[in-house]
């Protein structure tokens, strides 16, 4: 095993551990919060920017407005997640919340590794000895190659592992 294998195991393990600690409710609220923050800040940043002081440049106003909405939505979704998790625990569903959280963390960890290996396929990293000698690089590369037809053609053509 090389450090590549240890990094994969650590990434997935850390994702599972964090999800068990936080629970599925908080994990799902966080994921929904990120999605909502991206969408809502994109939709309403221009509206908010109009209300900012005129002395600021238009670019700075747009950035500030985007960040205010983005961070505000993340904060609210985080608070909602904490409250919902407390509600679940009060209802006696704490173990279920954490067990489902572990599954969520496992899936998230595997997806993070998958995307990292896919992006590495765009570079020369897969030709390095630490990668070639890794026990887990081959199976993950196989999974990425199997998913290539679902990727945009320009991206898929550039992913190489040999």
In the block, residue with structure tokens 């009060």: 90
Q: Yes or no: say if 121 and 147 are a contact pair by the CB < 8 Å rule.
A: no
Q: Which residues of 56-88 are buried (b: 16+ CB within 10 A; e: fewer)?
A: eeeeebbebbbebbbeebbeebeebbeebbeeb
What pLDDT, on the 0 to 100 scale, is given for residue 147?
93
What pLDDT, on the 0 to 100 scale, is given for residue 154?
86
Between CA 99 and CA 135 the distance in angstroms is 28
What pLDDT, on the 0 to 100 scale, is given for residue 4?
96
Low-confidence ranges of the chain (pLDDT < 70): none
Reported pTM: 0.76
Residue ranges per structural domain of the chain: 3-158
What pLDDT, on the 0 to 100 scale, is given for residue 20?
96
pLDDT above 90 covers what percent of the chain?
85
Q: Yes or no: say if 144 and 121 are a contact pair by the CB < 8 Å rule.
A: yes
Between CA 9 and CA 137 the distance in angstroms is 12
Q: pLDDT for 75-105, tens place per residue? A: 999 999 999 999 998 999 999 999 999 999 9
What pLDDT, on the 0 to 100 scale, is given for residue 10?
98
What pLDDT, on the 0 to 100 scale, is given for residue 58?
86
What pLDDT, on the 0 to 100 scale, is given for residue 107?
93
Q: At a CB cut-off of 8 Å and minimum separation 6, what does 129 contact?
A: 2
């Amino acid at each position: 095993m090389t450090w590549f294998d240890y990094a994969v195991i650590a990434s997935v393990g850390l994702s599972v551990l964090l999800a068990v600690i936080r629970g599925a409710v908080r994990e799902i609220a966080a994921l929904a919060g990120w999605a909502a923050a991206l969408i809502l800040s994109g939709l309403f940043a221009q509206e908010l920017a109009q209300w900012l002081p005129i002395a600021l440049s238009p670019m700075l106003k747009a950035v500030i407005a985007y960040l205010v909405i983005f961070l505000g939505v993340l904060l609210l979704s985080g608070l909602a997640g904490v409250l919902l998790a407390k509600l679940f625990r009060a209802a006696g569903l704490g173990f279920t919340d954490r067990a489902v959280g572990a599954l969520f963390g496992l899936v998230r960890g595997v997806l993070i590794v998958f995307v990292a290996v896919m992006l590495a396929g765009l570079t020369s990293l897969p030709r390095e000895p630490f990668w070639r000698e890794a026990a887990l690089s081959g199976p993950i590369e196989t999974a990425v190659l199997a998913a290539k037809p679902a990727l945009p053609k320009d991206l898929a053509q550039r992913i190489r592992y040999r």
